[in-house]
Each structure stands twice: as C-alpha cells, then as structure tokens.
Chains A and B, each alone.
Chain A
C-alpha cells in the first residue's frame, strides 16, 4: 500500500510490480494455469518456427485461417472498450467512470493479442522490421495492411497512455487533470472505431473475394464488436467484483447488457440483409455464402459452426430482450457467454474461411485448424488473460485506495474495504 514517502515513478513501478507477487492460493493457481497455457503455446510456436507454416492446415487455396479469424474477433473486442469510455468521459456517468480503467485494460490486452495473432501468422517473423518506416519500406497509405499496423499500434499506445496517466495519478492521490487526458480520450474514441473500420476495409477492399467485397462489412463489424466486447467486459467485471474488493455497481453491468442487446439486434439484422442479397437472386458471387450456410458440392465443414452461431445469437438476443431474463444474473450471464461464442464464430471462422471457398478460380478446398494452430491460439489467449490479470492486480489496489480517499466518487456509497477481500 502507498505510504508516506514521496510518490515518484520509481516507487510506483516498485509498488505495482511488488503487488503482483502478493496473492491468494487461488490467484497463484490461476496464474500458473495461464502460464501453463502460454508455455504450451510457446512450444507449439517453436515447432512452427522450426518447420514452417506447413504445420498449419492453411494452403495456397485457404491462405488465411484460424489465426486471422481470432485476430479479427479480438480487434472488435478492443474497439468495444469505447462502450465504457463514452459514457464515462462524455456523459460523466460516475458508476462507469469508476470501472472505465478496466475497459481500457481490456482494450490494451485485446490489441496485444490481435497483434500476436498477426505475428504468428507471418511466414518470416524475423523480417518484421521491414515494416519500420525509414529502415524498412512501409507501403503507406497504399496498403490496407499498413493502415492496420498504424491504427492497431496507435490504439495500443493511446490506451496505454490514458491508463498509465490515470493510475499513476491515483497512486499519487491526485485527481487526474481532465484537460490533460480528455483530448486523448476523444482521440481514442475515434481511433477505436477506426481500428475496426480499417480491419473491415482490409477484407472488403478485395474485389477478388466477393464474400467480403461489400460495403456492409464495416458496419457489420462494428455492430458485432459492440455485442461481443461489452459481453466480455460484463463477465470480466463481475469476476473482478467476486475476487477483489473493488466496487463495481450493478448499474454498469446493466448498461453493458443493454449495449449488447442493441448491438446484437443490429448484427442479426445486418446478417439477414446480407443473406437476402446473396440468396434471393443467387449468383456466382453468392457461392461462399452458400458454402458457409448450406454447403457446396458436398463440402460443408463450416455448416455446423455457422448454424451453432446463429442459434446461440438468437437465444442470446432473446434472453437479453426480455427484461426479467436480462436482469436475472443467471440468464443474463448465459446470454453473455452465448454472445461471445456466437460472435467469435460469426466474426472468426465464419467470416474469414468462406472468402477462400471456393477460390477465385472456382476450386473448393476446405480448411479446419491444425492442432498446432489451436495450441498456439490457446497460448495467446492464455497470455492475454495473464496480462489482464497482472495489470488488474497491480492497478486495483491503487484504484481502491484512491476511491476510499474520495468516497463521493462512488455512486452507491460502497467502499473498498481495506484488506477485507484480499484473501481471495
């Protein structure tokens, strides 16, 4: 805990790092479990580096697979942090402002994971420096991938800057100066929309891939991101409330569930609009959609996936549309989980793979991830959760201390009870 000594950056770092090593057995168990996932991922990645991407199931026909699917989903999760940032900083909702830092943290973690998924997808990660302007050759503004590099790294930096500034000031028991961080917050809000728009443009730019080449892709991306992201945040916040003494008002969860249900309705409408266009007067451009939903020439590997997603999303949206089930903790959380899985399929495998089936020359070649791809992905997921756990572990005591010192900041008057819940 912060003491009477002068609070400088050095002490701040020492305090936060020290905090990581004080935890209950449950904390250590959780951290070890995640470390194990990361270790497994590292081993699998080592094998991939040694033998090449031939250990994946990707082919010249389906040249992007599970990695890029997960990347796409995570960019959406990162963007969705604005669903806390906007009410907190623009509409000054106190209850949300108390937890907005967790939204920023989730954005940092999701972007980091997204970037890691790109890295493991590269054939020659040793040449990543070719991207650095000046010493490399950065094809900006021509290449949409170059745009994506800019917006993702920029978003990472912005969120890190905001979070660091706020936590550090809270550590010093100073109210962060709004004039200092507000312009960056505004920038970060637009930037969040841009990361997902640019990622959608990355796909929709390709006239070679009719499945993506349509202007609805970016709006669809944003809509499903604002469904899955808040669902993940809501579950994360409830877990934090369980395992720490950090006060999280139920009104925040209610807010997130409302955002989720609205975004889900829009998502389902958009998907329906695309299906109508693809199937009413079916053309060769609709073959990918046919493959995804109905199978093509006896190939239907993705059919069970997409129908699972459709069913999950429909159940989720129904549960969240009915007031009693939206407000009941059980049904609400079930709806959140279904939303996350449903969007992960729809925005991941369901969006990336069909663009390659059939190929632009009409060939059908099916794809399912290999064990290596799955283990590496689990490793990255583990890394992300570990990163979130550690960041939260370091930041929460500081937040609690600050909130305790300024009780008017807490809406329902709940306080961080010092050391009461520390055991868990």
Chain B
C-alpha cells in the first residue's frame, strides 16, 4: 500500500515524461514499420524497434505508473503472440486487503501421485526442466531429507514403509531470497506471496543460493513451451511466459488465488491433502488446522518463518 501511495505522489511528473517517451517510441515504431520493416524485424529478433527499446528501458514493476503497466502488458502479449502464436491475457490484479495466504499439507493423506506437480506445470507454463513442486519419497520414521528419493517411480506409489513430502516455495515471511537480491527484483507482496519481476531480474542467481528449500528455478535456456498447451490466463507476477536468463518460482498461483480460486496444486490433489487459505480469516480451514493440529514447518530452525505447514492425522 505504501508503495502505491508513493507512486501516486510521483505520478504527474512521470506521466509527463512517459507521454513524451511514448511519443518518441511511437515515432520510432512508425519509422521502423513504414521503413524497412522487414530488415528491422529480423534485426530485433522479430520485435519492432520500439518494443525492443521499451523492453530495454522497462522500469521495475513497482515503479511503474498504471499507464506504464498497461503498455508493458501489451508488449508482453505481443511477445507471446510472436514467440508462441497465442493470444494470452495478462492481468496485474493487486493483492486483496486483509488477505495473507498460507498453505497446510496433510502428510498422512499424500500418496506421492505427483498430480500437484503436473497440474502446476500446466497451470504455470513451466518449461520441461522446471517443476515448482518436488515430492520426496521419505523413509517412514525419518525426516532425513538426504535419505529421501527425489526421483521415485510414480507407478509404484504409495510404497510400504515410505511417506511422501511435497516441497515447494514456503513463501517465507522473512525470505532470505528477497534479502539476497541486489536489485530488488524479488519481493513479498502484501498478501504474503514472494514474487519475481521477470523483466527486472538480471539472473545473478544469488537468491537460489540463499533459499533453504531449493524453491527457485533458473531459465538456463529459453523455456520450451508447447504453444498448444499454454495457459492463456496469466498474471504479470505469476505464470506469464518467462524470458531466458531469469529466476522464477512458485507464486501460490497468483493468477487464480487473487481471484478467489484455489491454487492448481490444491485442486489437482486427489486425496485432499492440501489446504490453502487466508491466514487472516479466523474462520478459514487453514486457521482451523493451525489451531487444532500438531503442525510443523520444514527447517523452521532457520528462522525464515515459512507460511507452509505440514501436519498428520493423529
């Protein structure tokens, strides 16, 4: 909220500047299109000169005026159209007041089917080398992660003597990754979701080093999305197609949850192991679990205050 207020105060001057900048880019764009449009196309990787310019000088998401956000979203749509041939929608729905999201997972119910993993991949337009959720097959009676199997065969689950531990971003309330980023490309939103501005991140990957949960993923190459399968309902801070060379992570399906829907992993879980909701709502199911179950958090000793709890049926 404070950031928006700050932006509001700055707005008049910025708008003036941006109007001038837009006129400038519009002229450039006009020249590019009217002139040797073919040559310009090839030279800028299929983008117009003005888009390329605007991409390069694009501001940090939280410093943009609403007009600039809209311009940027239009460019994002054009880029998706050019690269994948699909028309996506890209929202920038803000956090809802009085909402902080939290997650709880019932280990007794998880059978290790990995339906959440695959639903997440589809929902969030993940490349084939990226999965936000990692389900670890653990030895019953042990919490030693190193002894767990990350690559168990899903055909054989659930195995006797094993339990299954799905791990994804914990949306820490004191996130070490946010502290680590030298350019504030990642931050915690008012609803508690840690997000990345994919157009601001410069790919130093220090956040990946800082994260105790292996929850951050880098686009080493260009994400290989199947145009047929692209989810066209996207969010600026969420599942919009990502560029190469930047970090991405679970964002609690911000494109769904800010509209009141459940995250894809929660919906996909066939055993009902996953509970997602508003931590500030005393009547929510997640609050009931936190208050009535013996919950624990992974690596709580590190003090990052995860907003992701595990529990078992007593």
Contacts and interface: CB of A to CB of B under 8 A. Distances in A.
Interface string B256-279: 000000000000000000000000
Interface stretch (A10-18, A229-237, A357-365): A357-365
A359 B299 CA distance: 14
A59 B216 CA distance: 11
B182 A360 contact: no
Interface in B107-138: 129-130, 134, 136
Contacts of B129: 60
A208 B200 CA distance: 24
Contacts of A363: 150, 214
Given A125-B202, A127-B202, A358-B146, A142 B179 contact: yes
A391 B181 CA distance: 35
A94 B303 CA distance: 54
Interface string B55-72: 010001001000000000
A253 to B, nearest CB: 39
Nearest to B183: A130
Most buried by A among B148, B176, B202, B216: B202
A64 interface: yes
Contact of A53 (B148, B181, B245): B245
A122 B202 CA distance: 6
B60 A137 contact: yes
| Tier of interface size on chain B | 35 or more
Interface in A66-84: none
Contacts of A64: 205, 209
A14 to B, nearest CB: 37
Contacts of A360: 145, 211-214, 299
B211 A123 contact: no
Nearest to B298: A361
A138 B219 CA distance: 23
A3 interface: no
Contacts of B183: 130-131, 136-139
A250 interface: no
Nearest to A358: B146
Contacts of A149: 182
B218 interface: yes
Contact of A124 (B147, B201, B213, B214): B201
Most buried by B among A58, A121, A136: A136
Given A130-B200, A360-B213, A139 B219 contact: no
Interface string A114-158: 000010011111111011000011110011111001000000000
Interface in B184-206: 184-185, 200-206
A123 B203 contact: yes
B144 interface: yes
Interface in A371-406: none
A420 interface: no
B75 interface: no
Contacts of B222: 52
A127 B247 CA distance: 14
Contacts of B295: none
B152 to A, nearest CB: 12
Most buried by B among A131, A137, A205, A359: A137
A356 B214 CA distance: 10
B202 A60 contact: no
B46 to A, nearest CB: 15
A143 B56 contact: no
A207 interface: yes
Contacts of B145: 360-362
A139 B182 contact: yes
Given A54-B221, A58-B220, A145-B182, A63 B208 contact: yes
B201 to A, nearest CB: 7
B128 to A, nearest CB: 12
A71 to B, nearest CB: 11
B184 A123 contact: no
A362 B182 contact: no
A139 B184 contact: yes
A144 B180 contact: yes
B75 to A, nearest CB: 16
B219 to A, nearest CB: 7
B210 interface: yes
Most buried by B among A52, A53, A136, A361: A361
A118 B209 CA distance: 15
Interface string A232-255: 000000000000000000000000
Given A145-B204, A360-B213, A284 B56 contact: no
A419 interface: no
Most buried by B among A54, A58, A118: A54
Given A207-B302, A208-B176, A362-B146, A124 B209 contact: no
A104 B81 CA distance: 53
B112 to A, nearest CB: 15
Contacts of B200: 127, 130, 137
A209 interface: yes
A207 B212 contact: yes
Contact of A143 (B180, B213, B299): B180
B237 interface: no
B175 to A, nearest CB: 11
A51 interface: yes
Nearest to B134: A361
Most buried by A among B179, B206, B218, B219: B206
Given A52-B221, A127-B202, A360-B214, A209 B182 contact: no
A409 to B, nearest CB: 44
A287 B146 contact: yes
A360 B177 CA distance: 14
Contacts of B205: 63-64, 121, 123
A123 B150 contact: no
9 contacts: A53-B245, A123-B244, A139-B182, A205-B210, A206-B176, A206-B180, A206-B210, A208-B176, A362-B147
Interface of B: 56, 60, 63, 129-130, 134, 136, 144-148, 150, 167, 176, 179-185, 200-206, 208-214, 216-222, 243-247, 299, 302-303
Q: Lowest 5 A-B CB distances belong to which pairs?
A: A123-B203, A123-B245, A362-B145, A208-B212, A362-B146
Interface of A: 51-54, 56, 58-61, 63-64, 118, 121-128, 130-131, 136-139, 142-146, 149, 202, 205-209, 284, 287, 355-356, 358-363
Given A121-B204, A208-B176, 13 more contacts: A60-B208, A64-B205, A123-B201, A126-B56, A127-B200, A127-B201, A138-B182, A139-B181, A145-B181, A208-B210, A360-B212, A362-B144, A363-B150
